[in-house]
C-alpha cells in the first residue's frame, strides 16, 4: 500500500500582526513567546515584591533604631560629655595600653645590648615605634569617635539628619554611637564595632549620617515665595533662568545635598520625592566614578523637573491671587461683567443662531437669555425683556411706575431701544457704573 505523503499546512503569516506567535497557535504548537513573556512578568513581579518587603523590613529596623537613640538620650545625665571615653571601655583600654607598654619596654631592653646600626637593633627600634604608634592610634580614634558621636546625637535631637540616608546607614550609626554595638581593638589599636549579627565595622569605615541641606533648601523656599508674591506666571523666557538657578543650588549642595533636597521636607514643608521613591538613591551608592556621575546627572534632572512643576504651581497661585485682589479692589465696577463671564456657558447655549447638534433644530432662545439676565439685574433695581421686533434685550428701570421705558430711550418708531446679544457686556457695564 502506497504511503500517503503528509502535506504541510501553509500559514498566511502576512496577515498575522502577531507574527510567529499566532503561527504556532494555528499549527497546534504552544505560544512559547507568550509563555516566556508571562514567566518574565511573573518573575519581575516577584522580584519587585521581594524588594518592597526588604525595604519595608529595613524601614522597620530603622524606626527601631531611632527609638533606641531616643532611649539612649533619655537615660543620659544632663550635661554629659559625649566625647569622653565610656567607663565600660576604660578597662579594655588599660589592658591594651599595658600590653603595648610592655612590648615597648621589652624591645627597648633588647635594643640596649645590641650594636648600634645593626639589623637586630633596628628591628627592636621599629617594634618600639609600632607600640607607641598603637597607643597614639587608640587615643586618636577615641577622640574622633567621641566627636562623631556628639555630632550625631545633637543632629538627631535637632532633627537635622536627612531622611535620605539609607536605612542600613541609619541602623548602623544608631548602634555605633549609642554603644549598642560591642567595641574592641585590633592589634594596631583600631576600634572595631560588632553588631548583634557579628558584622564588624572599623572606625575608618563608619558612614556618618549626612545632614539636611538647609542652606540650599532655604534659598529654594525664598525663590518659591518670590514667585508667589510676584504674581506673574512663568513663561518660556523666565522658566530656563529659574531652572538654571535651581541647578546651581543643587550643584553647590553636593551629592548628599542632592539627596536631601529631594527627600527632606524643607520646601513648603513638603518633599519633591516620596518615601516610595527612595530606591532611586541606590544608584548613587557606588564606588565607580563614571557610574556615580551618570546616576547623579539623571537624578538631578528628575529633581529639577519636579522643582519646576512646583515653581509653575506657585507662580500660577500667585497670579490667581493677584488677579482676585485686583478684582476685589475694583469692587462692584466689574460685578456685572464678572457675573456675565461666569455664566458664559449658559448664554452660549441659548445664543441666537445656535443649532442643536443632535436634532439639528434651532436652539437659540432669547426668552431664556432674558430670564437669566433678570436673575442678576433685578437685584440692582432693573428688569430685562426681549423685544422680538428689533431683536434686542431692553433694560428697564423697575423702580419706575408701570409702563416705564427703556433706559436707552425710544426710537423714532416708538419702540424701546435695547441691547442686541453681542452688546450684553455693555448692558452690564452700564449697571456697574451706577
Unique residue bearing C-alpha cell 518659591: 224
Taking alpha carbons only, the member of 151, 141, 143 closest to residue 177 is 151
- Average pLDDT of span 149-155: 94
Cβ within 8 Å of residue 192, ≥6 positions away = 183, 184, 185, 186, 200, 201, 202, 203
Contact 69, 178 (CB under 8 A): yes
Cβ within 8 Å of residue 22, ≥6 positions away = 16
> How many C-beta neighbours within 10 Å does residue 18 have?
13
> How many C-beta neighbours within 10 Å does residue 225 have?
13
Cβ within 8 Å of residue 61, ≥6 positions away = 167, 171
- Average pLDDT of span 394-413: 68
pLDDT attached to residue 1: 43
> How many C-beta neighbours within 10 Å does residue 421 have?
16
Residue 315 has pLDDT above 90, yes or no: yes
Q: How far apart are CA 255 and CA 216, in angstroms?
A: 13
pLDDT attached to residue 401: 42
Taking alpha carbons only, the member of 247, 222, 242 closest to residue 303 is 247
Q: How far apart are CA 17 and CA 22, in angstroms?
A: 8
pLDDT attached to residue 16: 43
Q: Which long-range contacts (CB under 8 A, 24 or more apart) does 343-347 make?
A: 343/372, 346/372, 347/372, 347/424
Q: Cα Rg for the chain, rounded, in angstroms?
A: 41
Which region among 81-90, 210-219, 263-272, 359-368 has the lowest average model confidence (pLDDT)?
A: 359-368
Bridge partners of 182? 194
| Better-scored residue on pLDDT, 222 or 416 | 222
Among 39-43, 259-263, 418-422, top mean pLDDT goes to 259-263
Cβ within 8 Å of residue 187, ≥6 positions away = 134
Alpha carbon 168 to its chain's center: 21
The pLDDT mean for the chain works out to: 84
Q: What is the pLDDT of residues 93-141, one digit of tens each?
A: 999 999 999 999 999 999 988 888 899 999 999 999 999 999 999 999 9
Residue 18 has pLDDT above 60, yes or no: no
Which region among 311-325, 326-340, 382-396 has the lowest average model confidence (pLDDT)?
A: 326-340
Residue 366 has pLDDT above 60, yes or no: yes
**Residue 328: pLDDT band by 50, 70, 90 thresholds?**
low
As a whole number of Å, the end-to-end CA separation of the chain is 113
**Residue 10: pLDDT band by 50, 70, 90 thresholds?**
very low
For the chain, percent of residues with pLDDT exceeding 90: 49
pLDDT attached to residue 77: 77
Residue 2 has pLDDT above 70, yes or no: no
- Average pLDDT of span 302-320: 95
Amino acid at each position: 500500500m502506497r504511503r500517503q505523503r503528509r502535506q504541510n499546512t501553509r500559514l498566511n503569516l502576512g496577515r498575522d500582526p502577531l507574527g510567529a506567535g499566532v503561527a504556532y497557535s494555528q499549527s497546534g504548537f504552544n505560544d512559547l513567546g507568550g509563555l516566556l513573556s508571562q514567566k518574565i512578568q511573573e518573575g519581575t513581579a516577584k522580584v519587585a515584591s521581594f524588594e518592597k518587603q526588604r525595604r519595608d523590613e529595613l524601614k522597620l529596623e530603622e524606626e527601631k533604631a531611632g527609638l533606641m537613640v531616643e532611649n539612649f538620650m533619655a537615660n543620659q545625665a544632663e550635661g554629659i560629655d559625649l566625647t569622653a571615653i565610656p567607663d565600660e571601655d576604660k578597662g579594655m583600654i588599660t589592658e591594651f595600653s599595658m600590653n603595648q607598654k610592655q612590648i615597648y619596654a621589652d624591645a627597648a631592653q633588647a635594643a640596649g645590648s645590641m650594636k648600634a646600626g645593626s639589623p637586630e637593633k633596628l628591628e627592636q627600634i621599629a617594634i618600639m615605634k609600632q607600640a607607641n604608634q598603637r597607643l597614639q592610634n587608640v587615643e586618636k580614634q577615641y577622640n574622633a569617635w567621641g566627636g562623631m558621636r556628639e555630632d550625631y546625637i545633637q543632629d538627631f535631637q535637632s532633627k537635622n539628619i536627612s531622611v535620605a540616608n539609607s536605612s542600613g546607614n541609619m541602623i548602623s550609626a544608631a548602634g555605633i554611637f549609642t554603644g549598642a554595638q560591642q567595641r574592641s581593638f585590633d592589634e594596631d589599636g583600631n576600634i572595631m564595632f560588632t553588631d548583634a549579627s557579628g558584622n564588624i565595622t572599623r572606625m575608618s569605615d563608619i558612614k556618618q549620617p549626612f545632614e539636611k541641606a538647609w542652606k540650599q533648601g532655604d534659598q529654594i523656599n525664598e525663590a518659591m515665595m518670590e514667585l508667589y508674591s510676584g504674581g506673574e506666571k512663568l513663561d518660556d523666557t523666565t522658566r530656563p533662568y529659574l531652572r538654571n538657578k535651581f541647578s546651581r543650588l543643587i550643584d553647590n549642595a553636593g551629592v548628599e545635598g542632592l539627596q536631601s533636597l529631594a527627600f527632606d521636607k524643607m520646601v513648603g514643608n513638603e518633599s519633591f520625592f516620596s518615601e516610595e521613591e527612595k530606591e532611586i538613591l541606590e544608584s548613587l551608592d557606588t564606588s565607580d566614578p563614571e557610574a556615580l556621575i551618570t546616576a547623579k546627572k539623571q537624578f538631578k534632572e528628575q529633581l529639577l523637573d519636579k522643582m519646576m512643576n512646583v515653581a509653575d504651581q506657585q507662580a500660577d497661585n500667585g497670579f490667581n491671587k493677584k488677579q482676585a485682589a485686583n478684582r476685589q479692589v475694583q469692587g462692584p465696577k466689574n460685578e456685572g461683567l464678572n457675573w456675565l463671564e461666569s455664566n458664559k456657558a449658559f448664554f452660549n447655549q441659548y445664543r441666537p443662531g445656535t443649532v442643536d447638534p443632535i436634532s439639528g433644530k434651532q436652539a437659540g432662545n432669547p426668552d431664556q437669555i432674558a430670564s437669566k439676565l433678570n436673575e442678576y439685574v433685578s437685584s440692582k433695581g432693573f428688569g430685562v425683556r426681549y423685544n422680538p421686533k428689533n431683536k434686542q434685550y431692553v433694560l428697564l428701570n423697575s423702580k419706575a411706575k408701570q409702563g416705564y421705558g427703556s433706559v436707552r430711550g425710544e426710537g423714532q418708531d416708538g419702540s424701546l431701544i435695547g441691547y442686541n446679544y453681542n452688546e450684553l457686556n455693555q448692558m452690564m457695564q452700564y449697571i456697574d457704573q451706577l
